[in-house]
């Protein structure tokens, strides 16, 4: 699995988990969803993604985006 797919899968999982926590635990968990969304947006323009850097150092295969 390439870095691109791992980043997208991880973002999707975090969004779904944070929305579930916002519904059943406390509504402030929605800020985690906003953080992930903003991080995805800024990485689309800048190409900088902290998770992609970590995965690259772990030796994962690069994709076309990162």
Tens of pLDDT, residue by residue over 8-36, are 999 999 999 999 999 999 999 999 999 99
Concatenating the DSSP letter of every residue in 3-49 gives HHHHHHHHHHHHHHHHHHHHHHT-GGGHHHHHHHHHHHHHHHHH---
Residue 43 pLDDT > 90: yes
23/17 Cα distance (integer angstroms): 10
What pLDDT does 64 receive? Answer: 80
Residue 65 pLDDT > 80: no
pTM for the full predicted model:
0.87
Take residue 21 and report the two structure tokens written for it. 């926590």
């Amino acid at each position: 699995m390439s870095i691109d797919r791992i980043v997208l899968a991880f973002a999707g999982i975090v969004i779904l988990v944070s929305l579930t926590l916002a519904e059943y635990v406390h509504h402030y968990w929605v800020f985690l969803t906003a953080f992930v969304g903003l991080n995805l947006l800024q990485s689309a323009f800048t190409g900088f993604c902290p998770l992609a850097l970590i995965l690259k150092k772990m030796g994962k295969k690069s994709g076309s985006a990162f």
